[in-house]
Chains A and B, each alone.
Chain A
Amino acid sequence: MTPGPGLSLEQAPHLSVPLRFYLGAPLFAAAAAVLVAVEGPYALSTRWTPATLAAAHLFALGFLAQVMAGSLLQLLPVVAGAPVPGSRGVALVVHAGLSAGSVLLPTLFLTGAPWALQGAYGALGVAFVTLVGACALGLARARAALPTVGGIALALASLAVAATLGLLLAPLYAGGSSLALGVRHLHPVWALAGWVGLLVVAVAFQVVPMFHLTPPYPLALQRLLAPALFLALAVASVAEGAVQTAAYALVSAGFALFAGVTARLQALRRRRLGDASLGLWRVALGALVLTSALAALKPWLPDAWRPRAEVFAVVVYLVGFAWSVVAAMLTKIVPFLCWFHLQARFLGRGKLPHLGVFLAERDARWLLRAHGAVCAALPLGMLLPALHPVGFGLFAAEALYLAGLVARAGWRYREASRRLEALPEPSPATHAVQ
């Protein structure tokens, strides 16, 4: 192959890089759901129970951070127009570190063991420093001046703030003390609204128009929303009193605005056919509006309601919003990556399978239906404790189903590779590209 046409393939890392992350991530989400189901309704009474903290970190690190890492390592070389040096090695280190850390940190919350603290420090430290370093390198070289690139950088900066606060707070759970005790409420704010929220906003600017042929987001929103949200979070973190309340209200309003604009663009989409990923996006946007409303109402809630309302808002945000967005993306991205790598290796050599062969739309629709059931069952479980294990059990089953879909796509990729490898090499005339 000549160096020119090979470029595109060389820029994209090996298929195993993103798939490794996408396959493991739903297993951590399932583990988080099982933990909350087994712990019972007590786990949702306040965010400070060990099982609640363990489940939240299993989900945030094991599921969300894994998917993000896999996607960034896939995306950055392509966006940057140059391969991240040693992307396969970077992926291995980040994957191993995140996986180990996603087990060790929850172990710390459940047991208080000092070795779990030291292990989590080491594993997550290596994973995050490697990931943020590799991404910073890629982002700095990014050739495309897209607002998405700036938004991803702000999301990563928020992750760095959240991770630093987490690092300072973790000794509390191994019987130690923490310098950051006074600002511990800021850790989930920067992790959830900063890191997860800004990342979804930044990525949505590209993928929402792309997958459903919607009009583009207004340019002013693309340029200003992520920096404005980041700034409001920063002000809320250092201000007090009315200024702080106003800054948090701006954050809520910003995310509600994003949800409203996205829903409007999707309603105006040129692609009339709906699909499971569109349904998952709609669930996500509804959950985002609900979380924003709960956050905005928080100062006016009676004190006795607050602990439960906080946990409810986090469950709606993580399961209703973040999970739905990730599932919507994975049902599109996993089959595309399988196809992309297959055609890069075998274009012109035989008939290539299309996306539906790797992940059929009817299977994606089952995922959407399962998620609809989960989103109905979880709030019911907060009202009727008997239903608590049903909702979280169902969520664990849904997560395993997603892992199964990713595994099957990878399996079908291998099957198709074997079939195409057995075919004769194409003659240079049919394979040549101008």
Chain B
Amino acid sequence: MAETITQLLTRDHSHCDDLFATAEALGDAGAAPAAWRAFSAAMERHLGAEEGLLFPALDAAVGGSLPPVQVMKLEHAQLRALLSDLTDAAEGGSWDEVSGLAQTLLVLMEQHNLKEQSVLYPMADRLLGARAGALVAELTPLTGTPRA
């Protein structure tokens, strides 16, 4: 059976979580800044794919600006601000700073993901109906997770 939007993007959340856990576990080791950059790049791909394809498709489906989409966009801006602070801190900041920012980002990211996975993605699968399959095909190359 073809993958749904919910399944694809939930899997991509999980991929980003893995990269986060890998980077955080490195602590202040020399490889940490590169691991945080890899995490940040995966996040940017995910956020960009949603903003470039999913959100416009949802807005088009309802013929206006969907409130949950507006909230998700705001949270994307918050996530980006933290990602930028975090990758900067990883380059030269203290471990306290990196770990504090990582915790902040984690909590924000997880509650954001929860809202998307339990409200927005199922709404997208429902609203887009037959068009969802085509959108999944467009989204797939933009996510970091080839289907298992």
Contacts and interface: CB of A to CB of B under 8 A. Distances in A.
A8 B115 CA distance: 12
Given A347-B77, A357-B100, A361-B99, A4 B21 contact: no
B44 interface: no
Interface in A321-376: 332, 336, 339-340, 343, 347-348, 351-352, 354-357, 361
B127 interface: no
Interface stretch (A142-150, A379-387, A391-399): A142-150
Interface in B68-121: 68, 70-71, 73-75, 77-78, 81, 85, 96-97, 99-101, 103-104, 106-108, 110-111, 114-115, 118-119
Contacts, number: 90
B81 A5 contact: no
A96 interface: no
A145 B119 CA distance: 8
A378 B73 CA distance: 50
Interface of B: 17-18, 20-21, 24-25, 51, 65, 67-68, 70-71, 73-75, 77-78, 81, 85, 96-97, 99-101, 103-104, 106-108, 110-111, 114-115, 118-119
Contacts of A340: 108
A143 B114 CA distance: 13
Contacts of A347: 77-78, 81
B74 A355 contact: no
A354 B21 contact: no
A22 to B, nearest CB: 16
B81 A210 contact: no
B7 to A, nearest CB: 14
Given A144-B119, A145-B118, A332-B107, A348 B21 contact: no
Nearest to B123: A143
Contacts of B108: 336, 340
Given A8-B71, A213-B21, A339-B104, 11 more contacts: A4-B71, A4-B74, A332-B107, A336-B104, A340-B108, A343-B78, A347-B77, A351-B85, A354-B101, A357-B100, A361-B103
A201 to B, nearest CB: 17
Contacts of A348: 81
A24 interface: no
A270 B18 contact: yes
A81 B71 CA distance: 10
Interface string A409-434: 00000000000000000000000011
Contacts of B118: 144-146
